Amino acid sequence: MVEDRDEPTIIEPTDAVIRLTATCICGSDLWPYRGAYDVDRQVMGHEYVGVVEAIGSEVATVKVGDFVVGSFFASDNTCEICRAGYQSHCVHRVLMGLIGTQSDRARIPLADGTLVATPAQPDADLIPSLLAASDVLGTGWFAAVAAEAGPGKTVAVVGDGAVGLLAVLAAKQLGAQRIIAFSRHADRQKLAREFGATDIIEERGDDGVAKLKDLTNGLGAHSVVEAVGTQEAMMQAIRATRPGGHVGFVGVSHDVSIPGDLLFGSGVHLHGGPAPVRRFLPELIELIWDRTIEPGKVFDLTLPIERAAEGYRAMDERRAIKVLLTPTDNND
């Protein structure tokens, strides 16, 4: 449901207000949509790019007119946790989903720490990729980093949604030698290969793990990304990882419980959680600006924001990988 709400304004001197150029629907938005939580008229959306319209008196690093990218947690980028690269756990963090960026305008708290300006106004064809940097690319990238993807490594990715596909892209950029994507959908397999996957495994669960072991001399992958958040996917990720290897998990966990004996016996590293997208934004914006990467390819449906409900349906029914929404002002 789309409704008119009060226009956002500057509340704190560290706020900015942006006019959204594009926003989108996240896989995690589907959990409340499907009824996993009790929601009633909850504002939605936490991915955004746009133009700064107003800034508070203490904002110094972005100015009115700048085109900016931010992530799903606002962060000060100055506290000890932020400086260690974990801005999604900032001591002052604000969850952008509570503000709701599936809208025409949005208030961005902690603007200096949260927003990164692009070098200039972007060409229209760059906007989907910059929007992807706001969450799905940043999250896939963190997952690949958490899994220690790099030169000489075999990386496996569990999950063929936008985040999993972009973890493939990240693994490729980080220099992985071999990238194995688990996917049973032809369109997603094709995109995974475009992003750098060298092998595709269609089986999942035990069969998927067995197939992966076949491809890795019985050892398992060095690095495994878990980008689903279910029990089956997490177990598959841990069991697909060789002893001493790393699992990067970014699928929002839903009733996942890891048996202690399995974890003890596995000898793997586990690292993940809500991705500190802000850590990677400057680098990701540069790679997009230089047209080295095109993560915006994950958007396979674009709708005006008034038709957001159709977008939720399309993603829920897996007819779309990811839906881009264009705010009202851009449809005049």
Cβ-contact 56, 16 below 8 angstroms? yes
User: φ, ψ for residue 151 (rounded to 5)?
Assistant: -55, 135
Query: Which residue's CB is nearer to Zn ion, number 108 or number 163?
Result: 108
Beta carbon of residue 115, minimum distance to Zn ion (angstroms, whole number): 14
Beta carbon of residue 98, minimum distance to Zn ion (angstroms, whole number): 17
The four Cα atoms 155, 160, 162, 168 give a dihedral, to 10 degrees, of: 20
- At 237, which amino acid appears? A
Considering only 15, 29, 76, 104, the residue that binds Zn ion (CB under 5 A) is: 76
User: φ, ψ for residue 224 (rounded to 5)?
Assistant: -130, 130
Q: CB under 5 A: which stretch of 22-30, 82-90, 259-267, 311-319 binds Zn ion?
A: 82-90
Considering only 82, 149, 191, 228, the residue that binds Zn ion (CB under 5 A) is: 82
Q: CB under 5 A: which stretch of 19-27, 69-77, 132-140, 252-260 binds Zn ion?
A: 69-77
**Six-digit token string for 281:** 């934004």
Does position 88 bind Zn ion by CB under 5 A? no
How far is the C-alpha of 277 from the C-alpha of 16, rounded, in Å? 19
Beta carbon of residue 94, minimum distance to Zn ion (angstroms, whole number): 11
Considering only 24, 90, 169, 325, the residue that binds Zn ion (CB under 5 A) is: 90
User: How many binding residues for Zn ion (CB under 5 A)?
Assistant: 5
Beta carbon of residue 287, minimum distance to Zn ion (angstroms, whole number): 25
Beta carbon of residue 73, minimum distance to Zn ion (angstroms, whole number): 9
Helices and strands in the chain, H and E counts: 12, 15
Considering only 30, 51, 79, 301, the residue that binds Zn ion (CB under 5 A) is: 79
Beta carbon of residue 294, minimum distance to Zn ion (angstroms, whole number): 31
Query: CA 168, 127, 48, 278 torsion: positive or negative?
Result: positive
Query: Which residue's CB is nearer to Zn ion, number 81 or number 180?
Result: 81
Non-local (6+) Cβ contacts of 253 within 8 A are 229, 234
CB atoms within 10 A of CB 9: 10
Burial group, residue 78, by CB count within 10 angstroms (0-12, 13-18, 19+): middle
Query: Which residue's CB is nearer to Zn ion, number 113 or number 159?
Result: 113
Binding site for Zn ion (CB under 5 A): 75-76, 79, 82, 90
